[in-house]
Structure 1
Amino acid sequence: MALLQPHGIQGLLKDGHKHFSGLDEAVLKNIDACKQLSTITRTSLGPNGMNKMVINHLDKLFVTNDAATIVNELEVQHPAAKILVLAGKAQQEEIGDGANLTISLLGNSSKMQRNLLGQASTQVKSLVGTPKPSIRSVQTIELLDELVEKGSETMDVRNKDQAVIRMKASVASKQFGQEDILCPLIAEACIQVCPKNPANFNVDNVRVAKLLGGGLHNCTIIRGMLLKNDAVGSIKKVEKAKIAVFAGGVDTSATETKGTVLIQSAEQLENYAKTEEAKVEELIKAVAESGAKVIVSGGAVGEMALHFCERYKLMVLKISSKFELRRFCRTTGSVAMLKLSKPNPDDLGYADSVSVEEVGGILVTIVKNEEGGNSISTLVLRASTDSILDDLERAVDDGVNTYKHDLDSRIVPGAAATEIELARRLKEFSFKETGLDQYAITKFAESFEMVPKTLAENAGLNSMEIISSLYAEHAAGNSKVGINLEEGACKDASVLNVWDLYVTKFFALKYAADAACTVLRVDQIIMAKPAGGPRREQQPAGMDED
């Protein structure tokens, strides 16, 4: 039987496996896949970037130009393209912004690498075996350090104007034209919850509440929390209230073991009911005597318990989400108790006011804590549709993450000024090299032209003219000149007041170079036979497979 086995890799792996190798089958196809994915996100880069309409497998609609959301919902299958997705996710988790820059730069550098591979196919093994984008990225980072704006190393994180300047470009890339309204709101919300040591700033402490109706001019900041539900009882407003939080709910507690009660007469039944009622009243009275004016339940609120809460003038709130309950405890300084019992004074929280208000036809509960110290602030966003609200939330998320990284407050010129300067200096550096290295560095430099080219194309400008003008300005020593998209001309980024964070560029370059190296080092793709099991039946047209 062994003699009948096929030779080579066919006899090594199970039937049904797939194997691709060589320049055409593996390397170039991987690069093409990366290029196709970056083409999708590239048109969404910058303030004039186009939105993508993505419908995921659950039929949920996303209308956004946020690259991280787009690649997450696309469910990419190609193994090489997945590396791009992972690089974009890493950028989003590390910085919270710049995922599009990472993916577009990576795809474009792969395209440049393809040109390189095509030109030097005889030396492909030596080139792909030791890909050099990582070496060139080290040189580029050294050049990036030289472009840092002098004096930007120190920043007062509680200075609203400085915070707005740093997050303006990030927010404008998502909501162009609205950044002057959004940035001051985001900066104020961040400053409100910034601890004494800014290194301990937690992005989760800036919450977003999305309410349909109204417009961006109706957006407000609440120093506290907003709960999207009404109070359970009839008491709708309490001032300067102590708060008791019960994670297990406000109801009669069931026994841990099953038991049987034998009742032989109507009198015994009546006494049994009265005993239960007296016990609940005793517990609610104990809570009221502790000084609490508000009870917050993490579970069900019983009718009998609610009756006694009304009698003792206690406001009752219900928070089903355990995450919201934890944030509520952080906001008010409460300690969540497991069962209904008399709280200790140390377990009680405090809020300046707890009130039910109507916003856009929706009853919401607003918990303010301005005087008693606070660690949560909520940005109330208003817009006409859910899609717009979701996109506004992503812009807020980018702004908050930018504020978090203001500890490393170094900034570089925005509006593509940094990218074109890096491209120019790398090309100058390439003249010192010879042979294939010179060609490789030149192509790596050209990949940075993707940013000004894309920004110009998305704004409807002539990209070739813009890039030529930028090179001319930078060659004359004006290293801060970028693109003024509104006027369609080149202008100093410091005059436009457009700045990017150094750490965003640093990590985008680092992740793009590392992912490019990973893709270029692959020379074979070997796919095992898929796992067995019954085949899926073909679904009728118009029905989801899931």
Structure 2
Amino acid sequence: MAKSMALNSAAGLAGMLKAGHKHMEGVDGATLRNVEAAKGLAGIVCTSLGPNGMNKLVINHLEKIIVTSDCATIVKELEIQHPAAKMLELAAEMQEQECGDATNLTVSFAGELLKMCEDLLRMGLHTSEIVMGYKRAYEFLEKALPTLVTETVKDCRDVKEMIRIVTPVLAAKQFGFESVLAPLVVSACQGTFSSNGRAAVNSDSVRIAKIMGGNVSQSEVIQGMVIMRGTEGSIQHKDAAKISVFACGLEASATEAKGTVLMKNADDLMSYNKSEEKKMDEIIKAIADTGTKVVISGGTVSEMAMHFIERYGMMCVKIVSKWELRRICSATGSTALVRLGPATAEEMGFCDEVNVREIGGRKVVIFAQKDNAKDGCRVATILLRASTESVLNDLERAVDDGVNCIRTCCSNGALVPGAGATEMELSHRIKAFGDTCPGLDQYAIRSFAKALEFVPRTLAENSGQEPTDILAALTAAHANGNASAGVDITGEGNGVRDAGKDIVDLLHTKDSAFRLAVDAAITVLRVDQIIMSKPAGGGKLGI
């Protein structure tokens, strides 16, 4: 105790903390270092914003090559170590969970806010004044954003309307393929709607199966499940099939205790084998007598069991993944049994058609439900085709974003103009608001407004246009009251177009992205000291 109380006051903080710690404080030591790290991360992902955004080639610690423009995937695979940049990664992760889209907007806007505050700090403003200005600007943004709503989706079952909404989301990730992917995403999502009640989508209900070969236009939607393997037996097609699902293997159960069987003659050996065959025959016959046409096993299927399944004319499918087993139960209305025996009527499922197809040289089992199935199909699968694995994976990420867009639209269908029009209008209004504010925080409010201009500026840069000219044209358009003027990435019409009808974004997604970006930026900005203990195991932590 006496030793621990022997504090050397002359040593200062170093005398209080253990040897090997790191400590940084002040504007130059902590704040600007954090800002620099956040700017670095935002600089990486901002070039991937929009339809003409560039891809990043990331090689992770497992030497897996990932080629994508999806911000959530990029920041996840980068394995960020700096705690300030980690804040932005967490904001992007939360945006991905909540809305499934606009992660790039979250990270880039947070980085832009911190980039703006760097100039304010060098001007002599205190951090608290910048934070106060950003908070006031965000409060104004929250009130102004709902006033920019151009329309609200009333019927999520309208196919044309939903295709129009999901197309900009898919175009931002897979520009050129949005006209092919949008109808597939809408068809799959609407296939999971119940026939009565409010339309709603569960992201887990829309599955994605990837088969290499062919091209994207050969992709299709299957109302039901696709199992990426063939059947165990020779029977490959069943219509109007009753289904029994077993979570256990189809084999003779082994006892826990070891036993020894004493056989005195050849008759004992013959009768021992026959008794096992007879028992298995009874079990499989009992399953067949229930009307079962398809047997699904979550474990091993023994040769003896397979012999009797074939004898009674049943199809056998083996599913090794317990998650797929749960989904097949959901798609067919089955209950997975942990006992080997006949299922009751309530435990059995039903499927309109079960058949084996060969796609791209690979055999798959398709559990398809008719379009007029009662209450819709619980699971729908989008079968994606492409030439390489990297393209398939990026298509999957784009489809995921599209599904999440429809999920969000079902809960909140308010739409705002896209193509940078919403950000430009908010910037115009917040600038005017800043001019009416006395005090030093007006500089921070103006910087907040200027940070919002990064969206149209980046869209113009990524499409190869002159950002200064585009911003000037947009500023003039919004000053004249055209709130839906956005960037035309094709370069026609001086690079400005009316985005009110064609290119729309969901209000909820935008609102969530702005909220998380501002929270992350303010959290990073309020840090004035970084204190790190010595890493365990002698590892290095560079800041």
- Return the TM-score normalized by structure 2: 0.95
Q: Find the aligned partners of 1:167 and 1:454 in 2 and give their Cα distance.
A: 22
Name the residue aligned to 1:521.
526
Q: Find the aligned partners of 1:368 and 1:91 in 2 and give their Cα distance.
A: 34
Unaligned runs of 5+ in 2: none
Instruction: Tell me, yes or no, if structure 1 residue 390 matches structure 2 residue 393.
Output: yes
Instruction: Tell me, yes or no, if structure 1 residue 90 matches structure 2 residue 101.
Output: no
Q: Find the aligned partners of 1:111 and 1:275 in 2 and give their Cα distance.
A: 79
CA shift for structure 1 position 201: 2.4
Structure 1 residues 237-252: aligned runs within 5 Å? 237-252=237-252
CA shift for structure 1 position 200: 4.7
CA shift for structure 1 position 268: 1.0
Q: Give, as a single letter, the amino acid of the residue that structure 1 aligns with 2:273.
A: A
SS in 1 for 2:15: helix
Unaligned runs of 5+ in 1: 537-546
Q: Find the aligned partners of 1:140 and 1:288 in 2 and give their Cα distance.
A: 65
Name the residue aligned to 2:107.
103
CA shift for structure 1 position 377: 0.8
Q: Is the 8 A contact 2:71 2:103 kept in 1?
A: yes
SS in 2 for 1:478: coil
Q: Give, as a single letter, the amino acid of the residue that structure 2 aligns with 1:526.
A: I
Q: Give, as a single letter, the amino acid of the residue that structure 1 aligns with 2:398.
A: A
> Aligned to 2:447, which of 434, 443, 446?
443
Q: Structure 1's 126 and 294: CA in aligned 2 closer, same or farther, altered over 3 A? A: closer
Q: Is the 8 A contact 1:238 1:354 kept in 2?
A: yes
Q: Is the 8 A contact 1:134 1:514 kept in 2?
A: no
SS in 1 for 2:52: coil
Name the residue aligned to 2:505.
500
Q: Deviations over 1:165-215 (max 9, x none)?
A: 221211110011211111111111111101334465211111111111111
Instruction: Tell me, yes or no, if structure 1 residue 375 matches structure 2 residue 378.
Output: yes
Name the residue aligned to 1:399.
402
Q: Deviations over 1:484-526 (max 9, x none)?
A: 111341011135x000000111011100111111001100000
Q: Find the aligned partners of 1:132 and 1:194 in 2 and give their Cα distance.
A: 45
Q: Give, as a single letter, the amino acid of the residue that structure 1 aligns with 2:139.
A: V
Q: Find the aligned partners of 1:43 and 1:532 in 2 and give their Cα distance.
A: 37
Q: Find the aligned partners of 1:231 and 1:126 in 2 and give their Cα distance.
A: 66
SS in 1 for 2:536: coil
Q: Is the 8 A contact 1:249 1:339 kept in 2?
A: no
Name the residue aligned to 2:285.
285
CA shift for structure 1 position 303: 0.4
Name the residue aligned to 2:275.
275
Q: Give, as a single letter, the amino acid of the residue that structure 1 aligns with 2:360.
A: G
The number of aligned residues is 529
Q: Find the aligned partners of 1:199 and 1:84 in 2 and give their Cα distance.
A: 33
Q: Is the 8 A contact 2:212 2:389 kept in 1?
A: yes
Q: Is the 8 A contact 1:186 1:400 kept in 2?
A: yes
More divergent stretch after superposition (453-462 vs 199-208): 199-208
Q: Is the 8 A contact 1:41 1:100 kept in 2?
A: yes
Q: Is the 8 A contact 1:43 1:458 kept in 2?
A: yes
Name the residue aligned to 2:76.
72
Name the residue aligned to 1:490.
496
Name the residue aligned to 1:137.
138
- Return the TM-score normalized by structure 1: 0.94
Q: Find the aligned partners of 1:25 and 1:469 in 2 and give their Cα distance.
A: 40
SS in 1 for 2:313: coil
Q: Find the aligned partners of 1:457 and 1:140 in 2 and give their Cα distance.
A: 25
Name the residue aligned to 2:313.
313
> Aligned to 1:456, which of 454, 460, 467?
460
Q: Is the 8 A contact 1:131 1:521 kept in 2?
A: no
What is the RMSD computed on CA atoms of the aligned residues? 1.6
Q: Deviations over 1:222-277 (max 9, x none)?
A: 11111110000011111111111111011111123333322222211211111011
Q: Deviations over 1:344-383 (max 9, x none)?
A: 1221111111111111111111111115442111111100
CA shift for structure 1 position 529: 1.0
